[in-house]
Every structure is written in C-alpha cells, then in structure tokens.
Structure 1
Amino acid sequence: MKTLPAEWYPQSALMLTWPHPDTDWCDQLDAVEAVYVEMVCALCRYQPALILCPDTAWQARVAGMLADAGVPSSQLIFALARSNDTWTRDHGPITVLETQGLGAPGQPCLLDFRFNGWGGKYASELDDAINARLQEQGVFGNSTWQRSELLLEGGAIDSDGAGSLLLVRRTLLDPARNPGWSQDDIEQELHQRLGIRHFLWLEHGQLSGDDTDGHIDTLARFIDQRTIAHVTCDDPADPDHDPIAQMTAELRALRDSSGQPYRLLPLPQPRPLFAADGQRLPAGYANFALINGALLLPVYQDPADAEATRLLQAAFPQRQVHAIDCRALVAQGGSLHCACMQLPAGLTIRAPQV
C-alpha cells in the first residue's frame, strides 16, 4: 500500500535549490538570497536543510553565508546539481511511503515525475534532470526510486495523508503538459504511484501573475484531514475576485471520502504587489510550508500579515509560525512553498558520493 504523506508528517529535511547567476535571479541575487538565508535560519532550528548548488564554488559561497548567519553546519547537507531555476517544489522528488503489511513501518519511495517548465513556458532540461542527478550521487542512500512519464509539478497537488488529493484540473489536464492523457489516465497513474483514492478536482482559482496556471499551493491547502485553508478576495473590482469566489464555492461543495463537507479557513488577501514592469505578482498566504514543529509563512510587509499569522498560529497551535518576508521571492512569480520540497522521515539523506 502506498501513501502520500501530508506535509505535517515528520520530515527528515527540507530541500532547496539555491539561486545562482544562471537563473532568472541574476539581477536580484542579493535580495533573493537574503530570503533564502532567512528561511534556512528558521528551518534549521527544527531540522536539516538539503541545499542544491550548481558547483563547488557556489556551494562554498552559500556555506559561508549561512555560517555568517549562525546556521550550524551540522544542519546542512549540500549536493551539486545544475538548474534552470530554483522552484524546488516543482522539480524535486515526491516521496511516498510503502507498507508491506498491517502495522509495518512505511518505507520511502522517491518519485521522479517529468517537468517541462510549466507547459514549456521556460527552459527546464536541467531541472528535469535534477532528481536523476541526486540518485546518481547517492544523496538518498539505497532508497527506492521510480520514474513516471506523467508531468506532475509538486505545487499542483496537496495531500491530506489519507488518500485524498486536492488539485486544479487545468494544471494536469493540459495539452502542453500531458498530451494524450485523459482524466482517467491521470487518476490511474496517481493512484498507482501515490496511493490516491479520492480526487478533489477544482475548475477555478487563479492569482494574477501566477504563470503555473493555478497551482493549488497558491490557492488552497489542507490544514488537517477535515479542514482546508484558502485565499480570498473581497474586492469585486479586483480581477482575482471572480475566479477566487468561484473556487470558494467549489471548496464548499467538496466532500471528504466519508461524504462530509470540509471546514474552510479563509485567509486574508494582501494588497496587490507589482513588479518593476507593472506586472501584478501572485502574493498570498496559502503558500506556507510546514516543517517539524513550525510553519514558515510568507509575508509581504502588509497589514494583512498579522491576521494571516494569527489564523495559522491558531490552526497549528503546536507549531511556531515564522514569518518570512517574501517580497523579493514573489518577484519571480512564486513564494515560499514553491521554493522548497519536504523530505519525509525515514529517508536517509547524506552528502553526495562522488
């Protein structure tokens, strides 16, 4: 039996692909690296970080920055992999737990789905090869690996850890991503690979400036197996109002695997943020990341930051909420959750064997 753990499941580490000059961050490196340093400082109070760098020189530079920031080297694991971009959520491995019998501990299996730059919008050949590179280096020891021909970005799915999956239809049923795959084909593959039994497909929901075509991790997230937190937009004049209102209606209509409606936790909306060219940016609070004992929350120096912090702290009373200023990160169209991938407990993670 396979299970895709919820993000609140215990973790071995959090994986990050560090920004470097050969990415779109080349003109904003100082600002975005400051965000990554802040993330790692908070993260490493609770668990290790697996950090991917393009070469040994950049690794040494990053290690020095983190040492200067007071991060213990014992909490850092570095690996080498060239990348087109740094959105680890979408090119990193997705890990399931496989159990052989009742009561048996789940054994991790890493899944390498295809990635093509969100439907061919951006170069992606290096990103798509990252997981194979990590496997070659022995970063995850003798853990089982499987490759799927389905194109699946980690930000496109959210699991309750009990066989239910929340996802937006157009991010998978997309001829630029999965030509020739029907919904039945995709559900069969996700059942076989991830153990999913209950599919919660959404038709609506989009933040302006989001070029992923509506990743669920920007819109709605499981808080527990009965509760979904989601973005809101109260201004009827805002172009995001109608798609988000339609999504909220869909969320109200969803039923869990036992036929019960979900509790919904509406999150506030920050004021619109804009890039230098006037493009609106997809800032929101649903793009939080759960780690052991804490929640990393993207904030935007906005009055709504405090309310989002209060709501999520109340939703996760056993975790400490760490607010991370993500204005620099959202400048390239993603936020905190997009930049990382959790690695569940049970994985052995070690420095590369090269």
Structure 2
Amino acid sequence: MTAQWRMPAETEPHDCTWMAWPSAGYTLGDTEADADDARRAWAEVALAVARFEPVRMVVDPVAKRHARKWLGSDVELLEAPLDDAWMRDIGPTFVVGPGGLGAVDWVFNGWGQQGWARWERDARIARRVAEWAGATLIPSPMVNEGGGLHVDGAGTVLVTETVQLDPARNPGWRREDVEAELRRTLGVHAVVWLPRGLTRDYGEYGTRGHVDIVATVPSPGTVLLHVQRDPRHPDHAIDDALRAALPADWRIVDLPAPERLEDEEGPVDHSYVNHLVCNGGVVACTFGDPRDAEALETLASAYAGREVTGVDARVIFARGGGIHCITQQQPRVAS
C-alpha cells in the first residue's frame, strides 16, 4: 500500500530552507554590475532566512567562489550544475508521511517551454535535493512548479487554471486529472482553482499565472489576497474574479499592491503575497514603496508571534519572481 503523503503548511516547523545561487543567463543580466545586483539580492534573502533556520544553497561549481564571497560561512553550499536559480520551481515539493520525509519530483519544462528558458540541468535538481535531504523520491508525470501551488496543511490546495492546465505544460490534462495527481502527491482533498495570475506574469519572463504572487493561506480558512486598488493597473480588473473563486466561508485579508504601477517593461507584478514563512519569522518582499509598512503590519497580524523581516525584492522581481520563488522549505518530520 502506498504511503499517504501530506504537504505541511508553510507555517509548520522546518528543518531548513533550500535555495539555488544565480550563476548564468538572464538572472545575472548583461553586465558584471547586473550580476552583482542579483548576487546581492539572493544573498540578502538567504542571510535573512538564516536568522531563523538553516539555509542550504545549491551552487553551480563555476559560481562557488562568488557564492562564498557573498554568503560567508552562514549558509551551507552544495554543488550541482544549474541553469537558473528559482528553487521553488526547480526543486522538489517536500511532503511528510509514515515513511518520513518525501520529495515530489514534478516534471520541469521551463515554465511551459518558454523560448528563453534552459532546463536540462534544472530538471535534475529536485532529485539531487531529495538525495541530500534523505527524502523518499515521489516521481510525478505532471509538469508543475512549486510556485504554482499553496496548501493550508489541512487538505486544501490553491492552484491557477493557467498553470496546471497550460497546454504547454500538460496537454490533454483535465481538471480531474490534475486534482487526482495533487491528491496522490500532496495528500489534499480540496482543490481551489483561481482563474489566473497577475498580468505581468504572462509577459516574456512570466510563469503564466503562479499562485504564489496572488494568494496564500496563513491559516486554514483565511487567505491573504493580492489586491490592486488602482484602476489604472490591469490587475485591478481581475480582483472580482479571484474573490469569486475562493470558498465563500473563507476570510479574505487584502494585501494591497505597492503604489508603483509600472517599470520600464510595463505594469509591475510587485506583490507582498510572495513571502516565506520561517521558524519564528516571515521574510517578506519590500519595494521601497509607501505601502511597505502597511504590508509588513498586515503580515505581522496574519502570522502572530512571528518576527517579520522585510528584504528589498525589486531586483528579484525584475528577473521574474520574488522571495518565495527563490526559496523552498523542507518541513521537519515529527519524531
């Protein structure tokens, strides 16, 4: 009989957080100054998380010197070839069960075979991380990424229609197929389908709708929802549809978007939803924006008893993601 796996809520205790060090491609940018901006941003997140729990950083051998320079001795380095640095998506999704720690190895295909993406090396990282963690590998035939789901730890998962049902990810899959696979791998019994993600996420470097910049579940029955208050931003028009898709008996807590609406590429997707919950803390995105303080206060209320630390995430978002996107928690297995 197959063990019944369960994905714990992010608020449950962790053994550590996994990350991957930026070492190539668009994440580093075109100049050495761009590369240092990326290294600094990843390092600031890693060192902020390390205040709460151990951080294990996967590093391409060609970038180990840079990683050690920026991280010092506070972060453990493990070497493996990398294409990119989005550990939430290329790493495993950890679960727990009677057999201890499990690691779901989704099929990774560069966020739906994006033209700029390279994933030959990244597609092998989940297996490597599972080995290092001593986890039972749980292979999945579904193309998926960790940023494409959020669980409450009590049997409910949030997903978006434009990710798991993306024809470039899972051609021919129906809702019931996705739901069956999420039940098998994550131990959930209820799937909440949001209709889509944020507008910018459908641009050149987007994921086509990851839920982890849209909504998260700080506790069962409560959702933190990204809200764009300004009607000049295209995300303002999707708020009603997102709310309507959530269970009627859930409490919705608004996390308003920053006041900044655009950058040189168009409407931004800056989102305070994209935070990481740690042991005793929350590492949250800030944007040098007037709404930063309001967002941090809202998170402190949602995660009462945890210390909320803000890290400037503008450099990370300019590369296509945020703090949650570059981290992956490994839950603690009850003894």
Same fold (TM over 0.5): yes
Corresponding residue of 1:83: 82
* Residue 319 of structure 1: how far off its partner (Å): 0.5
Amino acid across the alignment from 2:182: L
CA contact (8 A) 2:26 2:319 kept: no
Q: Deviations over 1:32-85 (max 9, x none)?
A: 211122112211111111101110x52233123222xxxxx3x53221122221
Residues 272-326 of structure 1, C-alpha deviation per residue, up to 9 Å, x if partnerless? Answer: 35454x3333211110110111001101000000100111111112100000001
Aligned match of 1:284: 271
Q: Which residue of 2 aligns with 1:151?
A: 143
More deviation, 209-218/322-331: 209-218
CA distance in 2, matches of 1:109, 1:297: 27
Helix, strand or coil at the partner of 2:41:
helix
Name 1:322's counterpart in structure 2: 309
Alpha-carbon distance in structure 1 between the residues aligned to 2:222 and 2:88? 22
1:17 aligned residue (15, 20, 24)? 20
Residue 242 of structure 1 is matched in structure 2 by: 237
* 2:43 counterpart SS class: helix
Aligned to 1:116: 109
Instruction: State the TM-score, normalized to the length of structure 2.
Output: 0.91
Answer whether contact 1:282 1:333 (CA < 8 A) is retained.
no
Query: Does the 8 Å contact 1:228/1:265 carry over to 2?
Result: yes
Q: Which amino acid aligns with 2:69?
A: G
Conserved? CA contact 2:216–2:223, under 8 Å: yes
d(CA) in 2 for partners of 1:274 and 1:333?
14
Aligned length: 324
Residue ranges of structure 1 left out of the alignment (5+ in a row): 68-72, 100-105, 256-260, 348-354
- Residues 117-157 of structure 1: per-residue CA shift (max 9 Å, x gap): 1111122222111123345xx4123x211211111110111
Q: Distance in 1 between matches of 2:233 and 2:50?
A: 38
Alpha-carbon offset, residue 248 of structure 1? 2.1
Q: Are 1:176 and 2:168 counterparts?
A: yes
Q: Which amino acid is 1:263 matched to?
A: R
The answer for the alignment partner of 2:69 in structure 1 is 64
Alignment of 1:195-214 (within 5 A): 195-210=187-202, 211-214=206-209
Secondary structure of residue in 2 paired with 1:118? helix
Alpha-carbon distance change, 215 to 283 in structure 1, aligned in 2, over 3 angstroms: same
1:166 and 2:169 are equivalent in the alignment: no
- The answer to whether the 8 A contact 2:47-2:75 is kept is no
Which stretches in structure 2 are left out of the alignment for 5+ residues?
none
| 2:299 is equivalent to residue 306 of structure 1 | no
Q: In the alignment, is the contact (CA less than 8 A) between 1:296 and 1:323 conserved in 2?
A: yes
Given that 2:88 and 2:145 are in contact with CA atoms closer than 8 Å, whether structure 1 keeps it comes out as yes
Q: Does 1:229 align with 2:224?
A: yes
CA contact (8 A) 2:24 2:84 kept: no
| Matches for 1:260-275 after TM superposition, within 5 Å | 261-272=249-260, 274-275=262-263
Deviations 1:180-218 (A, max 9, x none): 222111111111111110111111442324521111101
Provide closer, same or farther for how the CA distance between residues 153 and 52 of structure 1 changes in structure 2, counting only shifts above 3 A. same
User: Hey, what's the Cα distance between the residues in 2 that align with 1:22 and 1:273?
Assistant: 27
| SS of aligned partner of 2:200 | coil
Listed one character per residue, the Cα deviations across residues 12-36 of structure 1 (whole Å, up to 9, x for unaligned) are 1111111113453233211121112
Measured at CA, do residues 166 and 134 of structure 1 come closer, stay the same or move farther in structure 2, by a change above 3 Å?
A: closer
Cα distance in 2 for residues equivalent to 1:134 and 1:232? 35
SS, match of residue 76 in structure 2: strand
How many angstroms apart in 2 are the aligned matches of 1:64 and 1:205? 36
Where does residue 58 of structure 2 map in the other structure?
52
The 2-side partners of 1:79 and 1:202 are apart by 36
SS of the counterpart of 1:170? helix
Task: Tell me if 1:3 matches 2:2.
Answer: no
Task: Measure the CA separation in 2 of the matches of 1:10 and 1:317.
Answer: 15
Distance, in Å, in 1 between the alignment partners of 2:149 and 2:276 is 14
Please report how far the alpha carbon of residue 87 of structure 1 lies from its aligned counterpart in structure 2 after TM superposition: 1.1
Tell me, what secondary structure is at the counterpart of 1:180? coil
CA 1:24/1:76 → structure 2, altered by over 3 Å: closer, same or farther?
closer
* CA RMSD across the alignment: 1.9
Counterparts in 2 of 1:121-132, with a 5 A limit? Answer: 121=114, 122-132=117-127
Q: Distance in 1 between matches of 2:299 and 2:333?
A: 27
Q: Which amino acid aligns with 1:114?
A: V
Where does residue 192 of structure 1 map in the other structure?
184
